[in-house]
Amino acid sequence: MAAAQERLSDGTGGMDEAKDNSGEGSGGGSVPPPFRAAVDALRTARLRPQVEVEPTRAPQRLAPFAYALEAAVVDGDQDLADGRLVLLHDPAGHDAWRGTFRLVTLVRADLEAEMAADPLLPEVCWSWLTGALQARGLTYGEPSGTVTRASSHYFGGLAARPAASQIEIRASWTPREGLGDVPDTAAHLAAWCDLLAQIAGLPPAGPGDASVVTLPQRRGPESR
């Protein structure tokens, strides 16, 4: 999941390194109950079996509290798409977020040449993200992001390789908080996995084409 290790934009005009979070962080504060509940809810999400999800290292400096997941859409031994989703929490609130929670994502997949040449591709990919959220009835605010496509052409000793194209979506949005000031993170995770499946080229999920994913208990929510 190489794409899941890239730096993420927090949607507020800056970039930050994704680094280890270990222990309770430099502040020594305890994890707020709304953040712990939001992280616990992620483990209840029902996801397509083709999407493999696991916890990963969270960025330290984007917010006081952060939790991260990485995922890949797998077909046999081939990754069709991969990405990273980070849940941020600032109990004091954040002016740019207009809330206390923020979701940040990076999604990347290879493209067929015909699709890569479509001039409307960036707009279509962005609509996949917003459409995935809307399809699950989720409310959110302050969406921000970029869609980037890149092509690689090989020469010299690499000339035998075919040209390759790739699409990358970097985005962030504020999930609206519900009961107990906790957003429905399970539904947001499911919508994000819908986006991954769509960018990977999977057909829409049918009835019963889902399974409960229990995330490995490698680490819990942490403060910086």
Is it the case that residue 22 has pLDDT exceeding 70? no
pLDDT (tens digit, 9 = 90+) per residue, 30-64?
899 999 999 999 988 888 888 999 999 998 889 99
Residue 206: predicted pLDDT: 57
160 within domain boundaries: yes
Residue 1: predicted pLDDT: 45
181 within domain boundaries: yes
98 within domain boundaries: yes
Question: Residue 132: how many CA atoms within 13 Å on its side-chain side?
Answer: 21
182's tokens:
């906790």
Assign 29 to helix, strand or coil.
Answer: coil
d(CA 60, CA 38): 18
Residue 157: predicted pLDDT: 85
152's tokens:
């690689």
Sorted by sequence, the CB contacts under 8 Å of residue 162 that are 6+ apart come out as: 154
Domain that holds residue 126: 2-10+32-204
Quote the pTM value: 0.77
Tally of domains in the chain? 1
- Position with higher pLDDT, 117 vs 6: 117
Is it the case that residue 176 has pLDDT exceeding 50? yes
d(CA 25, CA 117): 46
pLDDT (tens digit, 9 = 90+) per residue, 72-108?
998 877 788 999 999 999 999 888 999 999 999 999 9
Residue 196: predicted pLDDT: 92
20 within domain boundaries: no
Q: Using an 8 Å Cβ cutoff, are 175 and 133 in contact?
A: no
Is it the case that residue 26 has pLDDT exceeding 70? no
d(CA 79, CA 200): 9
Amino acid identity for residue 4 in this structure? A
165 within domain boundaries: yes
Q: Using an 8 Å Cβ cutoff, are 25 and 224 in contact?
A: yes
Confidence at 29, pLDDT banded by 50, 70, 90: low
220 within domain boundaries: no
pLDDT (tens digit, 9 = 90+) per residue, 10-21?
433 332 333 333
How large a percentage of the chain has pLDDT more than 70?
76
211 within domain boundaries: no
Assign 40 to helix, strand or coil.
Answer: helix
Alpha-helical (H) ranges within 66-184 are: 113-116, 121-135
Most confident among 16-20, 27-31, 196-200 (mean pLDDT): 196-200
Amino acid identity for residue 207 in this structure? P
Sorted by sequence, the CB contacts under 8 Å of residue 179 that are 6+ apart come out as: none
173 within domain boundaries: yes
Q: C-alpha dihedral over 68, 211, 132, 19, to 10 degrees?
A: 10
Dihedral of CA 150/120/15/108: which sign? negative
pLDDT (tens digit, 9 = 90+) per residue, 128-161?
999 999 999 999 999 999 998 888 888 888 888 8
19's tokens:
């680094």
